[in-house]
């Protein structure tokens, strides 16, 4: 409450009036389901206990005035009728991308005064971009009385990020997690499209880490820079898509995505795929087994088998490094994960996110958390940031 009151005062100082709406959306942690979203597979995700807060009030014209801690202390202005793309990576492109998508639904929205505050690390692999998009969209929709199903709203924000103003080819995991998660739950997502929606099923999986005296923590080396749009992400996505008709021919059945290939079916054609294209075989093997790991992780959680769940996390990380090679040009990622999972008290540890960076997720016993950090700092070196979190609530209205 103290933070909100401070933000209200800041808003009033900037714009001479009180905000009419305050919204929030959290960052996210990919728990398991690595690169499965664009392969129509499965994933488990959580909203983290870091969020982006957006304060808004309506104007009588078409002007947008927007300030953001860390980007623009003084308001930046542009018109809803003139939303040109700025330089690559410019944070205003994300704002304009969301506005453009909302205006497809309600073209007659008016201008706004906006203040954005976030403690979601922009370099932490926890999708600060999705938190910004969902927080902004949630606030604007409340301000103008736009009703939209939460799944459609998250999909709209994904389209904004994929669109020409931003141009990042992210899957649906980021926006779904930020928009749809619930406190003390992991979000299960089935990325088999249904109609115009990128998922056919989602459900909330309860997880009570306190009962097991454990916590999640994201570990980040902020000095290792990553850009999803120019990384190896597009190449891996393209190779997975290329494999689909090849596997359909090998298996003698219709295959529209890798989620339709079972582990047993993959094993039956593994050698043929290896002989045809060893790199493709590795990429496919990771995705097929990763989908099964997600389903196994859900069963382990529902049965209260937290140690089994931890082992599945570790297996996921090994596959991502050895088969999907997400440590390409970033040996720091391999060092971070392999050193970390050897430390006593670590129940499971894996890479997190799209890769090509040094970001990991660990499930650690609370009694060992301090020594875990100390020992990992000693083994890895200086510069690591630790982001502990509990599974939190998705996007919503604060005031």
Q: Among all residues, which ones are annotated catalytic? A: 174
The two beta strands, 214-221 and 112-118, are unpaired
- Compute the distance between CA of residue 45 and CA of residue 194 in angstroms, rounded to an integer: 20
Give the residue from 195, 196, 201 showing the smallest Cα distance to 176. Answer: 201
DSSP 175-231: HHHHHH--TTEEEEEE---BTTBS-SEEEEEE--GGGGTEEEEEEEETTS---GGGS
- Class of residue 130 by CB neighbours under 10 A (exposed 0-12, middle 13-18, buried 19+): buried
Phi, psi of 70 (to 5 degrees): 95, -20
- Class of residue 252 by CB neighbours under 10 A (exposed 0-12, middle 13-18, buried 19+): exposed
- Compute the distance between CA of residue 122 and CA of residue 387 in angstroms, rounded to an integer: 12
Tokens for 361? 């997720």
User: Tokens 């799944």 map to which residue?
Assistant: 151
Largest CA distance in the chain: 69
Where do runs of H (alpha helix) occur along 28-127? 91-105
Phi, psi of 253 (to 5 degrees): -150, 165
- Compute the distance between CA of residue 131 and CA of residue 156 in angstroms, rounded to an integer: 13
- Compute the distance between CA of residue 355 and CA of residue 125 in angstroms, rounded to an integer: 9
- Class of residue 211 by CB neighbours under 10 A (exposed 0-12, middle 13-18, buried 19+): exposed
- Compute the distance between CA of residue 97 and CA of residue 393 in angstroms, rounded to an integer: 24
């Amino acid at each position: 409450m103290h933070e909100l009151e401070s933000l209200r005062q800041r808003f009033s100082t900037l714009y001479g009036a009180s905000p009419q709406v305050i919204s929030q959306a959290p960052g996210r942690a990919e728990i398991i389901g690595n690169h499965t979203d664009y392969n129509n597979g499965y994933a488990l995700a959580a909203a983290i206990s870091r969020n982006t807060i957006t304060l808004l009030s309506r104007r009588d014209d078409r002007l947008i005035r927007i300030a953001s801690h860390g980007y623009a202390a003084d308001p930046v202005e542009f018109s809803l009728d003139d939303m040109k793309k700025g330089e690559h990576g410019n944070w205003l492109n994300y704002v304009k991308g969301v506005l453009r998508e909302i205006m497809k639904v309600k073209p007659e929205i008016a201008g706004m005064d906006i203040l954005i505050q976030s403690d979601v690390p922009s370099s932490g692999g926890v999708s600060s971009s999705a938190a910004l998009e969902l927080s902004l969209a949630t606030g604007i929709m409340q301000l103008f009385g736009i009703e939209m199903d939460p799944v459609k709203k998250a999909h709209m924000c994904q389209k904004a990020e994929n669109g020409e103003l931003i141009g990042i080819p992210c899957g649906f995991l980021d926006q779904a997690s930020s928009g749809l998660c619930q406190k003390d739950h992991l979000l299960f997502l089935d990325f088999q499209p249904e109609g115009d929606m990128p998922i056919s099923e989602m459900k909330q999986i309860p997880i009570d880490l306190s009962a097991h005296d454990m916590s999640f923590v994201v570990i980040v080396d902020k000095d290792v820079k990553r850009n999803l749009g120019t990384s190896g992400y597009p190449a891996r996505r393209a190779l997975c898509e290329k494999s689909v008709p090849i596997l359909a021919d090998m298996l003698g059945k219709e295959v529209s995505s890798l989620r339709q290939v079972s582990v047993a079916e993959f094993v039956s054609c593994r050698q043929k795929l290896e002989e045809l294209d060893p790199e493709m075989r590795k990429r496919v093997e990771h995705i097929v087994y990763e989908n099964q790991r997600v389903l196994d992780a859900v069963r382990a959680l529902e049965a209260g088998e937290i140690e089994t769940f931890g082992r599945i996390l570790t297996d996921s990380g090994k596959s991502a490094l050895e088969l999907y090679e997400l440590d390409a040009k970033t040996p720091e990622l391999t060092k971070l994960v392999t050193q970390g999972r050897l430390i006593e008290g670590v129940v499971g540890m894996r890479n997190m996110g799209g890769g090509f960076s040094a970001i990991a997720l660990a499930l650690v016993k609370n009694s060992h958390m301090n020594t875990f950090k100390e020992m990992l700092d000693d083994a890895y070196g200086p510069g690591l940031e630790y982001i502990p979190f509990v599974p939190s609530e998705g996007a919503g209205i604060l005031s």
